[in-house]
Chains A and B, each alone.
Chain A
Amino acid sequence: MHSLRYIILLILLASLLISSCAASDIPRTPEEIREVAKAVLQEEILLFMEAGYSSGETSDLHRNDLRYAARNYPEYPRRIVDTTGKTITIVRPLERIVAYNSHWVTPLNQDEKIVGVASSAVSEEIINPHVVGKINIGGGGPNMPDLERIYACNPDAIITYVTLGPGDEFFVDKMPKSVKVIRMDFLEPAYVRDEILKIGYLLDCQEEADAYLAWHDSYVREITKRTAEIPDDERIRVFIDVGSTGGADRRTAPTGTYMSTHCVDGGGINIAADLITGSTGVVNTEWIAFENPDAILALCYGAGYGVDDSRDLTEHYRDITSHQILSFTPALQEDRVYIISYRYAYGLEYPAALATIAKWFYPDRFADLNPQSIHQEYIDRFIGADYDVTARGVFAYPNVG
């Protein structure tokens, strides 16, 4: 059992090392880009020749690709490893992108490269200005996008999720080989930085990526630095609630989920962190009462930018607080039940959501933080929409300044 733990720990450490190395390997300066382009081009030319004359390993690039790569050298080819671990090599600027996952588009100012977007983005046009005039390819949530509309976009790349939506069997297998399918989430705090750096390099928008990351880091690093200083015995124990079907059993989020990362980054201890293997599990309210959490952090699949009444959040709050068995926990006795909208917690605005969570957990330590102003700063700087977060939308309950 112990050896298994060590193996898991080693694998985790190795993956952390690999990911940090991968992040640091992403070319940023013109020289670095040229060096990578040179190495990739050399490798691909050799592979191509080997495949042609020696029946050796097949090249990732075809004759036309190599022609483009040579023509666009030294800016191209560019190569990344996407979040699924797949190597993506592009030989020319991507100009017609179907963004099934479009969280990154407006913040990185890449609106003009987008030709198709998912229905889920169109439904929130108010905060997604990049969707205007683009082809709606359908999909979003559990629904599949319309393949023929994607064909109609005549894309040179599709950017889609890793953990959501259809996978390679839909996009890769049904697309011409020339269409690059790049899978990144732009949702998970643990690797969102890496994804922003990679997309910035791939689409030649490093400045925008750097600007976003500077804003991101200024808050996330400050918050995590302060929470790291909290002694273990002062950290609050948190139950993460991700809904129920109306009864005494509640769904929760273990380690490895977005909400668990938010909770830990915000200085909390997720009481169900190691209870469940997988992305979600169900626990009984008796177990929650037994664990006696100091706070309950609930994710509500409602509210967001296009909603102006807080009913979804307050109903979720009432659903939790109506369990009499939980009334004995410090969480309910001290009224520390916090509800956050998924639309706020998941996305590139998440530093504001993290600030909200940290301030909920430790109001004294984060008294100087103003999550709403962080959120507004994100909207103003990276979305550019005429949207006042203090007057519109519902993101968290109870509200923090």
Chain B
Amino acid sequence: MSGMDITEIRNHYSGYVRRKWLLIGFSVILILLLSAFAVSLGSFKLSYSEILMIIASSFASEPTTIEEYVIMTNRLPRIIFAMMAGFGLAICGTVMQAVLRNPLASPFTLGIASAAGLGAAIAFILGAGIGTGMYLVIGNAFLFTLIASGLVFGLASIRGITPGSVIMAGIAISYLFSAMTSFVQYFSAAENLQMVVFWMLGSLDKANWEIITATGIILLITCPYLFWKAIDLNVMGAGDECAKSMGVNVKRVRLSCLGLTSLITAGIICFTGTIGFIGLVAPHITRMMVGGDHRFLLPAAGIVGAVLLVAADAAARNILPGQVLPVGIMTAFFGVPFFLYLFIRRGSGDW
């Protein structure tokens, strides 16, 4: 290969990388603009300058006026939490699809949604669990997701933590926890059942600064490791044997990635209820735009997830004046058309 060719390939690769980063940069700008727009939507009509003043003044003092409470305790926490939840769930979905080599994998493949649902149902219906008040449901959902993950890993490890064994164990645990949830619901009063159903529809209404801090800490601890393993995830896409031959400790990467995605998912859905769609579709949407290189795919999918959830929540809060629709429904309304558009445009059945 001549020096000219190498330079050309290098330039081509640099251009390829630049385009990816540009796309990620554009997505970051998009999420910022969208968030700015979302924070201006609501019953109280506040101008951007007023909103900026309120945010600026909040650094110096606690909210005192109703407008300050509207922004600082209602809209802003909700939007920031939507960004974090969308980001986290999308990254989890991307990692799960990579380590399990399955396009249908999502954060809920391990039975996490069912487990969180059972935890919430026990809290609502039996009033039992860890924590009190709102934190009873959150604590239970978190605890049960971790129990489900532990069970899946325990079962899958018997067969060597392969994609097949993890998925099979996940399906089994998912059905088991779903059945247990139905069992608890069967003996529930109608009103408690309604609470469980509302919880399962998903909502960002519990967002507050404490929850943002807790979720932020989980993301800050876990995401750098997942980003660091992006190249390993690329290699694992070629198969376990191939990855092993290239020096990747497949079992360790798979186990650590699954463990961390379980932790992220548990840390998010215990607050939001089951918003499952983001983790399944955001990676596919992003893959169609930036390709399958996880160095770019992971951050880009996270931002696309954030965009989807912020947009869905803004619509859920404002599409019917005064009312709030379930955000889980809105994410599907937003994501599916976009996904189908890209799917048809791309014209390939590969994922």
Residues of A within 8 A of B (CB): 141-143, 164, 243-249, 251, 272, 275-276, 281-287, 289-291, 301, 315, 318-319, 324-325, 327-328, 342
Of residues 66 through 86 on chain B, the ones whose CB sits less than 8 Å from some CB of chain A are 66, 69-70, 73-75, 78
Please determine whether B186 and A284 come into contact, CB atoms closer than 8 angstroms: no
> Taking the complex as formed, is B35 at the interface, i.e. its CB lies under 8 A from any CB of chain A?
no
How far apart sit A125 and B163, CA to CA, in the bound complex (Å)?
Answer: 55
A286-B75, A315-B133 given; A247·B190 CB < 8 A: no
Of B24-32, B197-205, B234-242, B339-347, the one contacting chain A is B197-205
Q: Is B170 on the interface with A (CB-CB < 8 A)?
A: no
What are 15 of the A-B contact pairs (CB < 8 Å)? A141-B193, A142-B186, A142-B193, A143-B187, A245-B273, A246-B137, A246-B206, A247-B205, A248-B74, A248-B206, A282-B198, A287-B42, A289-B44, A291-B43, A301-B192
- Select B324's contact among A283, A289, A290, A342, beta carbons within 8 Å: A283
B284 within 8 A of A: no
Tell me the smallest distance from the CB of A347 to a CB of chain B, in Å: 15
Chain B, interface residues (CB within 8 Å), range: 35 or more
B189 at interface, CB cutoff 8 A:
yes
Which residues of B sit under 8 angstroms from A246, Cβ to Cβ?
Answer: 133-134, 137-138, 206
Q: Are B199 and A245 in contact (CB under 8 A)?
A: yes
A-B CB proximity, top 8 nearest: A247-B205, A301-B191, A246-B134, A290-B43, A247-B206, A249-B205, A141-B190, A328-B66
B119-138 vs A: 1/0 string, CB under 8 Å? 00000000000000110011
How distant is A100 from chain B, measured CB to nearest CB, in Å? 14
B63 at the interface (CB under 8 A from A): yes
> Nearest Cβ in chain A — how far from B335, in angstroms?
21
Tell me if B195 and A245 are in contact (CB < 8 A).
yes
Q: Do A245 and B203 have beta carbons less than 8 Å apart?
A: yes
Q: Kindly provide the distance from the CB of B134 to the nearest chain A CB, expressed in whole angstroms.
A: 4
Tell whether A251 pairs with B189 under 8 Å between CB atoms, given A289-B66, A324-B69, A324-B73: no
Is there contact, CB below 8 Å, between B191 and A282? no
Q: Mark B302-316, 1 if CB is under 8 A from A, else 0.
A: 000000000000000
**B278-318 interface code vs A (CB 8 A; 1 in, 0 out):** 00000000000000000000000000000000000000010
Note all chain A residues with C-beta closer than 8 A to B326.
282
Q: Is the CB of A245 within 8 A of B198?
A: yes
B322 at the interface (CB under 8 A from A): yes
**Contact yes or no, B190 A283, CB < 8 A:** no
A141 touches B188 (CB 8 A): yes
Q: A141-B190, A282-B323, A290-B44 are in contact. Are A247 and B203 (CB under 8 A)?
A: yes
Q: Pick the contact of A325 from B70, B204, B205 — CB < 8 Å?
A: B70
Q: Do the beta carbons of B191 and A243 come within 8 Å of each other?
A: yes
Residue in chain B with minimal CB distance to A251: B198
Q: Is the CB of B324 within 8 A of A282?
A: yes
B185 on the A face (CB < 8 A): yes
